[in-house]
Amino acid sequence: MEKINIRKDDTVLVISGNDKGKKGKVLRIFRKTNKAIIEGVNMVKKHKKARKQNEQSGIMSMESPINISNLMLVCPKCNEASRVSHTQYEGRGIRVCKKCGEMIVR
């Protein structure tokens, strides 16, 4: 199984599919299915019916999950989509940007 290098609140770049080239923030990760929800990416329209009086019915846009293999982490330091390596720092697993060598600490 591929190791998931992406964590919640990371910024990622979409590297394939309809939204190729878009960047967004990781809102949710589904480890079991290797998918993630990215802000503003893979938007689908859903029809919504008002069930309560103060709800609006109509068409809503919302994010649907995308395969993590279609995503690449954007390094917060150099702002480039980058592969990462892993290192240990003070007993924690830390990701390191392969482009600029900075540790990506979260």
Question: What is the Cα gyration radius of the chain?
Answer: 17
Return the number of the residue (63 or 80) whose C-beta is nearest Zn ion: 80
Closest approach of Zn ion to the CB of residue 1, in Å: 26
* C-alpha closest to that of 28 among 13, 6, 46: 6
Q: Is 105 a binder of Zn ion (CB under 5 A)? A: no
Task: Say whether 18 sits in a helix, a strand or coil.
Answer: coil
Phi, psi of 98 (to 5 degrees): -80, -15
Site for Zn ion in 28-87 (CB under 5 A): 75, 77-78
Return the number of the residue (27 or 81) whose C-beta is nearest Zn ion: 81
Interface with Zn ion (CB under 5 A), residue total 6
Closest approach of Zn ion to the CB of residue 10, in Å: 13
Give every CB contact of residue 46 below 8 A, 6+ residues apart in sequence.
Answer: 59, 60, 61, 62
Task: Name the site residues for Zn ion (rule: CB under 5 A).
Answer: 75, 77-78, 97, 99-100
